Structure 1
Amino acid sequence: MSITALAVEAEDAPRTRILEAAERAFARHGFRGATMQIVAAEARMSAGNLYRYFSSKEALVSGLAERDQAALAEDFATLDVSEDPLAAMGVLLRKHLVEAPKSCSQLALEIWAESGRNPDVARICRTIEDDVQARLAALVEGPCRAAGIAPDFAVRVIFTVTAGLFKRHATDARFDGEAEVALALGVYHALFAGAVRPRAALGAEAAA
């Protein structure tokens, strides 16, 4: 490893440590309740040292968003070669709703809630959602074309179902990840079979 690479790695280590601490603090105390001092204590460093890397809670959210966006990009890069979009989505759902700890979904809910109050956080969330929606639309383009539905409609259905599962994963002690993934994949199978359509489209078909 080069001297430059070692220097970059050394600089990234405290940022990674802080982001992991912020994730734990936000999940435990909520976005509003977790002060920069709490995050610093969680990271086992002084508040002054924390501010060297992140100037505000919004900067921490931005850092978490960038980290998660990079991870999602890697996930979708792997899925792009899949010939079975449903199986590919099952892999992603299991990663986030079965394998990931409940705290990850709790953090997502905290950030989504804050995005309704804070324009800076809303902008960060919108950037991530736009990126994920574009990647999903590309992934399901073939099945949507076969089913005669628009990719943007399919993506909205997928987002709505998945957001509900994240909420239940975060808050429901009885949540059964495998059963809920199976439920979601059943909905998506019906979607790509053409059984789920906008109400206006169903009305037009009935009239015809």
Structure 2
Amino acid sequence: MAQVLKEIQRDKILEAAKQELLQYGYRDASMRRIAAQAKMTVGNLYRYFESKDQLIQAITSPALTQLDQLVRSLTDDRISLNQTNTSVGLSIGELRPKIDRLARDLTELSVRMPQEMRILMLHSDLSEQISSWLVSLLEVLAKEWALFPFNRDAEFHALCRMFSASLFQGVREVFSQAGELDPDQLCEVLRIYFGLFLNMFSPAAKGDQR
């Protein structure tokens, strides 16, 4: 019985934390306000979660796990959020048919975990980790596709950061307005966005097959 009550209280904390994060963001979220919303003292809150970071991780970890499974399934385990990718071995021509599924799977995930996905994308330091991972991935793909004809690292890395930032910011933007779109609309917006982004690279990509 005690364990059941503990789990109920933990769920109340997580729900209060989600509302706090959605309203104030990660940096301005207050453990004191979360405790008040969960109707407990701050001291008791810290018995469940030692820090705000631990609380954030508890909220976003399920969504991050689902997102990683989505990416791994889509790329036949060639790409994972949990590892640094040193090679991918997928051409633009091979990735293009996967765009519809990527848009559909992301939409389904946002429907199953709407608050968690918004927090992950918009209000958590984990979004910065995803952004950094995306830069590393694009650097690998850019080399494999011979996108940028530079021998100097500075220009190459600058372009990879620019394109990665624009891709991730676009996804963040649509998730920030996800409530204004029904699932079909969200899926279509993502499909068009990913398709246009991939098309930017097609003329320069080595080995691209339309």
Q: Same fold (TM over 0.5)?
A: yes
Q: Give ranges in structure 2 of 5+ residues lacking alignment.
A: 78-93, 149-158, 205-210
Q: Percent identity?
A: 23
Letter in 2 for 1:161: G
RMSD, aligned CA: 4.5
* Structure 2 counterpart of 1:127: 129
| Cα deviation code 1:133-167 (max 9, x no counterpart) | 66x76xxx6xx97x8757x9597253232122123
How far apart, in 1, do the equivalents of 2:116 and 2:42 lie?
24
- Cα distance, 1:50 vs. partner? 1.2
Q: Which has the higher contact order (CA 8 A, sep 6+)?
A: 2
Letter in 2 for 1:24: Q
- Cα distance, 1:27 vs. partner? 1.8
Q: Give ranges in structure 1 of 5+ residues lacking alignment.
A: 1-6, 112-120, 202-208
1:39 to 31, 34, 43: 34
Question: In structure 2, do the counterparts of structure 1 residues 104 and 73 end up closer, same or farther at CA, with 3 Å as the change threshold?
Answer: closer
- Cα distance, 1:22 vs. partner? 0.8
Number of aligned positions between the proteins? 170
Question: In structure 2, do the counterparts of structure 1 residues 127 and 107 end up closer, same or farther at CA, with 3 Å as the change threshold?
Answer: closer
* Structure 1 counterpart of 2:106: 93
* Structure 2 counterpart of 1:182: 188
Q: Is the CA contact 2:26–2:123 (under 8 Å) kept in the aligned structure 1?
A: yes
Letter in 1 for 2:68: A
* Structure 2 counterpart of 1:164: 173
- Cα distance, 1:36 vs. partner? 1.7
Letter in 1 for 2:187: V
Q: Which structure 2 residues correspond to residues 106-121 of structure 1 after superposition, within 5 A? A: 108-111=121-124, 121=125
How far apart, in 2, do the equivalents of 1:56 and 1:73 lie?
25
Structure with the bigger percentage of helix: 1
How far apart, in 1, do the equivalents of 2:21 and 2:54 lie?
13
